[in-house]
Structure 1
């Protein structure tokens, strides 16, 4: 029976015969519940179980209205049960949409949105902005409780990254991110806090904020390292934080290895110092790119120059961000592809006056070639894959090796560039971060041997090299002794991890390590009885150098042999060399606290950002990079 014929059915009239009412369509969807008298009769819905009055004098119109909500009616067929709307799930899905896509809370009050949802299901109850906000906060609190319980159960220590950011309203926010290896031996990253911090931003004040964050999560006794940028106040922050945590005797080696400097910031300072040597040439390239991108007519003219020279138009025309040297490298690298096109544009366009000379192009090509390894290293440091820390030592060594090679270059410009970079390197990385050395020793392919090998290639005497290596190994033994004291009980409950997660590839550019296998190790092979786990591990032969292994999986598989050492490796491999994880929160924070939502409360901003991270909602593509790059292929006239 169709819905129209059902609505036209007048068998519900009180004057109709009882037999006719019993044959009404409603009784295929309801079951009568007889009472003591006809006036007490009720009916229950077959689908949802709701009970309605069904006395003869009232008719069945109320039952029919309910049928339209609970059943679908198709022409010529019996009524089908309509799935009821789960209002709680509907509201949760709406809240998650707000979190993931940065919708304003008032999105749920938009007329078209409500009409759409009502069209999809007639039971969709309208939600107000306050209810949407309440739902978001509820999800935040729920996920926070779950994460806090999980962090309490984590057997490893936790490494942190932290950084400050100013919103569009100049409010200072601090992001704290935790990095740890979970019970399945997979490296995890979680944003714990994104909270407004009032000025002044002194080291002591910021340390107090961090202590409160750690206490709030109940993990102040699990701190291993904290990675910060090179702002001067961070030295005071670390000292104050270390002093607070020492009171409870919860630091490994009294916090000796706690502070890690942000490698991306250090590398940026090093390269920026070198780029000053050719800043005039860089300025010309930058102005050239801006000129070409200035109008569609210029883009068309430049594209025609490319076509006339039969150049491939697959490379983008990239503009840089002055404060991000890697974007400057990309700009120069792309500009070199179109060097002749810029020269032709200079011949045909009188308004184009900033074309570099031939000598300047030659200098730019040499500098770009020199900077390529630095760009690749920056890409590793700044990536979102968060590789295990065993990969970092070799990259820092390559930076130092390239700088020393530049200093020896016969070209005075390159040599001067290397000298300027060496000053910055010595200021921040002269002794390397010992934690990075420890981490590469935990890689069974390299151990201490790689450190000794790399130092032998640098400009240092054998005595200085041996003193450095001995200091690193002795410090590693000190760290291991502390683990023996603090981890008397070995945890046996270890889950099954994903063997493909956090895959640690062989260190690239291995052709430069061709003589690594023949390099002598300082350790002799000895009897294993009575050895500590660390000594036993160092005495055993290294795995083949070119083996591609998941380092975390190696330690998971060997934790029965090295229970305490495996715990130490678990902590060392989670250390982060950059604050990129925290800085990525600021990119999201900038979209949440945009100029259209500048009045959003700090608590709501934290709930939106942290919950987005905890639910592993996919991040959006960097819009800035898209805006700074452009493909001119569409402007070539065919």
Structure 2
């Protein structure tokens, strides 16, 4: 402590040498207040001379505490736990404890701050925004609605942001859900930025989309009057197609399922099966998986693993007389064919589940592979596989007879393929020439319609910028002239951009290509096409797709 001169009030005072805090230093009053201050200002418990303790930033401490609650889903009462408080007091003696209500306020304040930042970022996005939404029910049957935005920012970086995860009381009709969705969009200020919305195939979603389109059209907020707004979730459609096929082959895979159940039924059986694997030197490294009947991809993984350990099951049948469900050679051959049929579906579902790369340009080719695979298996010599493929074809035709128009555009905007891949894919399908030409014309006309929309938008932006930069009033008599002239300029630009792009040789597929970087680099050459690419490439399917590996539990016990 440093003794200060006596002030006008005649009271003697002293200040702390470390922090400068002033205390009364009257000899008759004692020095207890100064002694209590020293442990707070210095680490006196450490060996050597006392060291100055850095003051605690209470605001930063509370923000970090709120962030930990959010990240780890802690209850707000976490801040009142005795162990938590003891730990924090040990780390810094100056910590001020807070209550659960204060923690809740801190979390909400942090949310509001981050929401404001994201809202400002969305306002600065020059392209349209693609949405995905879905309903989710908790274990207590409470309904929640999730809304996710997908967009390419002005630096050409793919972004995914969860905008809302809100409790939605029943009823969950399409019109009521649309009202909630419209309120979400208004809250974020993006009603006029919506390009597409991806949903699953629930019936109420058709009503939801129509209500949403009607509302957005009033504000002139949809591209091409909403013709391309509704996109069906590809992963959900895949699930419906495969589930239809699995109903036919349920008996064909029953022995495999029972074999897996038997092996996993006790620790002794697991040990015996592990010995069989070791004796046969099977080193595939797969886990023995039990499927979940509501998850078709888990059935695929179960069959894939069972085939890898086929010889181990055969050996188990020789050494364990209680094992009665070993499949016959004919049944194993059928399981092999089923697994081969399901593999493309599994691979494509995994591909569509990606969130760190564009998926829209992958859609057309992958759906075509599915259609080609189903058509081939319809002529399979195995009657069971035939019936499976026919039921899958029925589901395919219901949802994907006409591939999603807007997602078909994405493959044309992929400089690796362009329109030629669309023509090639249709030529390989079992359809007539007239059907093929009708499909191609439909996609090509849709592409031109979308291009013209962007051409008009670019022209409006250009005119707006010219008017804003000029102080000269525009004559009312010439208002129509700009529209008249733009029609001719639109045709010229179409020839110089869309047509030139399609006629330009495709990029060699042996070369690595970042599709977002390609369009970023070509902004000067194809300004209208760049706008289309900017929005088509952010058409994503995740948010409605669960991680494949997360559906099945993994085990650390050997191969189990």
**Residue in structure 1 matched with residue 469 of structure 2 by the alignment:** none
Deviation (angstroms), 1:386: 4.8
Counterpart of 1:122 (choices 73, 89, 93) is 93
Match in the other structure for 1:213: 184
1:111 aligns with 2:82: yes
Shift in Å, 1:539 = 2.3
**Alpha-carbon contact 2:233-2:544 (below 8 Å) kept:** no
Partner in structure 2 of residue 464 of structure 1: 435
Write the distance in 1 (CA, Å) between the matches of 2:171 and 2:360. Answer: 34
Q: Residue in 2 aligned with 1:581?
A: 543
Q: Does 1:633 align with 2:558?
A: yes
TM-score, scaled relative to structure 2: 0.90
How do residues 395-414 of structure 1 correspond to structure 2 at under 5 angstroms? 395-414=366-385
Partner of 1:305 in structure 2? 276
Gapped regions of structure 2 (runs ≥ 5): 466-491
| Counterpart among 228, 231, 235 of residue 257 in structure 1 | 228
Q: Check conservation: 2:42, 2:52, Cα contact below 8 A.
A: yes
Q: 1:567 aligns with which of 507, 521, 531?
A: 531
Q: 1:274 & 1:622 partners in 2: Cα distance? A: 22
Bigger mean CA deviation after superposition, 251-260 or 389-398: 389-398
2:56 aligned residue: 85
- The 1:387–1:320 alpha-carbon spacing in structure 2 relative to 1, beyond 3 Å, is farther
Q: CA deviation at 1:535?
A: 2.2
Q: 1:76 offset after TM fit, Å?
A: 7.8
8 Å CA contact 2:298–2:551 kept in 1: the answer is: no
Counterpart position of 1:240: 211
Q: In structure 2, which of residues 387, 393, 396 is the aligned counterpart of residue 416 of structure 1?
A: 387
Q: Deviations over 1:327-375 (max 9, x none)?
A: 1101100011112222333343344333322211111011112221221
Instruction: Report 1:31-430 matches (<5 A).
Output: 32=4, 34-36=6-8, 39-73=10-44, 77-312=48-283, 314-430=285-401
Is the contact between residue 314 and residue 631 of structure 1 (CA under 8 Å) also seen in structure 2?
no
1:544 aligns with 508
Check conservation: 2:352, 2:359, Cα contact below 8 A: no
Report Cα offsets for 1:535-583 as digits up to 9, x if no partner. Answer: 222222211122221111111111122222211110011012x3x3255
The unaligned stretches of length 5 or more in structure 1 are 1-25, 494-527, 588-620
Corresponding residue SS for 2:149: strand
1:199-227, CA deviations, whole angstroms, 9 ceiling, x for partnerless residues? 11111111111111101111010000000
**Which secondary structure state, in structure 1, belongs to the residue aligned with residue 505 of structure 2?**
coil
Match of residue 478 from structure 2: none
- Structural RMSD (CA): 2.5
Contact 1:374–1:399 (CA<8 Å) still a contact in 2? yes
Inter-partner Cα distance in structure 2 for 1:530 and 1:126: 66
Q: Report how far residue 408 of structure 1 moved.
A: 2.7
- Counterparts in 2 of 1:93 and 1:220: CA distance versus 1, 3 Å: same
Q: 1:489 aligns with which of 461, 480, 501?
A: 461
Residues 174 and 194, structure 1, Cα contact 8 Å, conserved in 2: yes
Distance in 1 separating the partners of 2:133 and 2:18:
54
Shift of 1:427: 0.5
Q: 1:70 to 1:425 in 2, by over 3 A?
A: same
Deviation at 1:101, TM superposition (A): 1.0
Distance in 1 of aligned mates of 2:101 and 2:81: 14
Aligned equivalents of 2:544, 2:391: Cα separation in 1:
29
Shift of 1:55: 2.8
Determine the structure 2 residue equivalent to 1:449.
420
Q: Cα deviation per residue 1:435-487 (whole Å; 9 max; x = unaligned)?
A: 11111111112111111111111112333222211211111111111112223
Change (3 A) 1:561 1:623: closer
Q: How far apart, in 1, do the equivalents of 2:255 and 2:106 lie?
A: 53
1:512 match: none
Distance in 1 (alpha carbons) for counterparts of 2:336 and 2:522: 48
**Structure 1 residue 622: Cα displacement:** 7.0
By relative contact order (CA 8 Å, sep 6+), the higher-ranking structure is 1
Residue 556 (1) aligns with residue 527 (2): no
